[in-house]
Amino acid sequence: MKKGSSHQPLSRERVLEAALGVLDREGLEAISMRRVGEALGVEAMSLYRYVPSKAALLDGLYEVVLGELPEPPPAKTLSAVLSERARALRAAFRAHPYALPLFASRPAVTQASIAHVEFVLDALHRSGFSPGDALRILQVTFAFVVGHGLSSYSPRRTDETSHPDYSALSEDSFPRVRAAARALADYDAEEEFEFGLAALLAGLGLEPEKRSRRR
């Protein structure tokens, strides 16, 4: 153990808590067993008893971010269930924007993470959807939340950011883009998310009467 390290015993929870702190401060690229060990004041080898690989560490980060979702309140409709879970997940991404690439590229692996998947699939099952349709609805909704989260919250380096000058475009050649650019002055990412979520859920035909018309 390194000099100055905490006397509090290590545990999987402590390791993941430290990893989340590194993630929030330094980004996903900083995550390594060595860096998390430094944050805890211990050698990297000490962590392997609790997280056997970097993959397990990333799976654990996925889990702890999902762990911040509140308990779902009772909901009368399937649309309400999915809307609430989508908003809760978006709030977690807002709090931990550096975690977004994990959710864009990794599945739920730990049982604690899979429990969130089970909850949504069960709500879809109880509403009469087949396993295949339930999975498709879950995947499409999840992709929307993650994708919009990446657009809204992903940290951007100033030297990699572009700022297109729409005002320099010809009004004759690009009238619709120029009009849309003027509307950007009132752009609200949260309002756009709600618009997109409502449109997505409406298009999925979640209510029984809409499903019967679609068949």
Full pLDDT tens readout for the chain, 215 residues: 444 445 678 999 999 999 999 999 999 999 999 999 999 999 999 999 999 999 999 999 999 999 999 999 988 899 999 999 999 999 999 999 999 999 999 999 999 999 999 999 999 999 999 999 999 999 999 999 999 999 999 988 777 788 889 999 999 999 999 999 999 889 999 999 999 999 999 999 887 555 544 44
- 64 domain residue, yes or no: no
Spatial separation of the C-alpha atoms in residues 65 and 68, rounded to whole Å: 6
What pTM did the predictor assign? 0.89
Q: Which tokens sit at 51? A: 């997280």
Q: Which tokens sit at 190? A: 């949260």
Residues 48 and 84 in one domain: no
Residues 39 and 92 in one domain: no
- 133 domain residue, yes or no: yes
- 193 domain residue, yes or no: yes
Domains contained in the chain, number: 2
Residues 108 and 182 in one domain: yes
Spatial separation of the C-alpha atoms in residues 136 and 88, rounded to whole Å: 20
- What's the pLDDT score for residue 210? 54
Sign of CA dihedral 121, 125, 129, 131: positive
Contact criterion met (CB below 8 Å) for 27 and 63: no
- What's the pLDDT score for residue 3? 44
The residue whose two tokens read 């015993």 is 9
Spatial separation of the C-alpha atoms in residues 80 and 78, rounded to whole Å: 5
Residues 91 and 21 in one domain: no
- What's the pLDDT score for residue 205? 87
Residues 154 and 90 in one domain: yes
Spatial separation of the C-alpha atoms in residues 137 and 10, rounded to whole Å: 40
CB atoms within 10 A of CB 152: 16
